[in-house]
Amino acid sequence: MSVLSDPLTLACGQVLPNRIMKSALSEALGTRSNAPDHRLERLYTTWGGGGYGLVVTGNVMVDRSQLGEPGNVVIEDERDLDALTRWTKAAHDGGTPLWAQLNHPGRQANPLALGHTPVAPSPVAVSLPGAARPRELTGREIEDIIDRFAAAASVCETAGFDGVQIHGAHGYLVAQFLSPATNRRTDDWGGDPQRRMRFLLEVVRRVRERVSPGFAVGIKLNSADFQRGGFSEDESRGVIESLAHERIDLIEVSGGSYEEPAMMGTAAESTRAREAYFLDYARTVRELAGDIPLAVTGGFRTHGGMAAAVESGDCDVVGIGRPTAVVPDAAAAILGGRVDALPSHRMQFGMRRVLGAVTDLKALDGFLDLSWHADQLHRIGAGLDPDPDRGVIATTVSMLRRNGRVTSPRRTSSGTGPR
């Protein structure tokens, strides 16, 4: 049997039945009150029976006043506990462990939500059209957000999730604290690499304090953000070295942000041909991570590429994301030999010379690609099959419809509502 079929025991005692993980994809399938409903249950029933060793949700936000996009599920307290419990049961019915990805968008709050002021470590706007300049967080607000991560994790355990993953990649708030390009503070939360990683470490520690020893706590971390003056591989290695002394069960390696979407396959052709975009980096942090297993996500498509990555010892778990929107049972298909390779679908806008003169095409294409895959998740949630032939126009219309709701002006704090 392939090494991909081997179980993996985590430090918390949880056992992953195999080495293929369904990585987080933002579903945007929450209700208007940001609760899960039958659509997420249907989607996760499908993924739960897809043969994965682990399924990680997408973008569960910890503050309903700060959303990455409309439709994010938000966990602040137990108001939606019954719905959250049904969500976990949907995945568990297929025998798959389920982790909730906890996140705060920071400056990457929905750029089309007009009238909303995002918050961030420093007032540095995203370099994308329409992005609002964020307001710098106060020390008290930072502490509040850390508490929100911990409170959400506690609710997740009560609802039956097997663990949480703290999203520290792709340019969201945790990544913003880590990067010198977006964290220009000179207080206890910035100024040097050690203080920039303090926010992440405090989130990890406070989450672990609020959950039981058998509840898994993982991290998604950038290898780099691929921006000049930003979070480098050397700094990332320093973060992993510090995380090795925390009670972490799994580190997932990715990279990039919405400004430089390396996680979307914008790497060089030679890197894409090797399948795993970030495997070379993972190899350099193997010893630094100590006994913490590593997952690598980004680019894996073939059984051979996945098996080689695990057999070499460069990683312990292979993460696949976008292919699972088209082949929901991708793990079963690979492990059972039904397919040797998963389909890869990349969306790009036309009129590239015209659009390229006024905006960053890589970022624009990244948003389009994300929306195309989100459309597939919405179809599965509605009880339909994925539509691999869905075109650019239909995807663009749905992207604007889903994200372009004009919001009323909101309070500009990080939120101090009930938890």
For 128, the token pair is 């994308």
Nearest to 49 by CA among 391, 396, 327, 390: 327
- Tell me if 375 sits within 8 A of 326, measured CB to CB: no
DSSP strands (E only) in 314-370: 317-320
The fold of the 3-345 domain, in CATH, is TIM Barrel (3.20.20)
* Residue 180 DSSP label: T
Q: Where do the domains of the chain lie?
A: 3-345
155 CB-near residues (< 8 Å, 6+ apart): 75, 77, 78, 81, 84
Burial 304-335 (b: 16+ CB within 10 A, else e): ebbbbbbeeebbbbbbbbbbbbbbbbbbbbbb
Contact 252, 319 (CB under 8 A): yes
The tens place of each residue's pLDDT in the chain, 419 residues long, gives 589 999 999 999 999 999 999 999 999 999 999 999 999 999 999 999 999 999 999 999 999 999 998 899 999 999 999 999 999 999 999 999 999 999 999 999 886 665 678 999 999 998 776 678 999 999 999 999 999 999 999 999 999 999 999 999 999 999 999 999 999 999 999 999 999 999 999 999 999 999 999 999 999 999 887 777 788 999 999 999 999 999 999 999 988 766 665 554 544 454 445 577 889 999 999 999 999 999 999 889 999 999 999 999 999 999 999 999 999 999 999 999 999 999 888 766 555 565 555 555 666 777 788 889 999 999 999 999 999 998 888 888 887 777 664 333 333 333 333 33
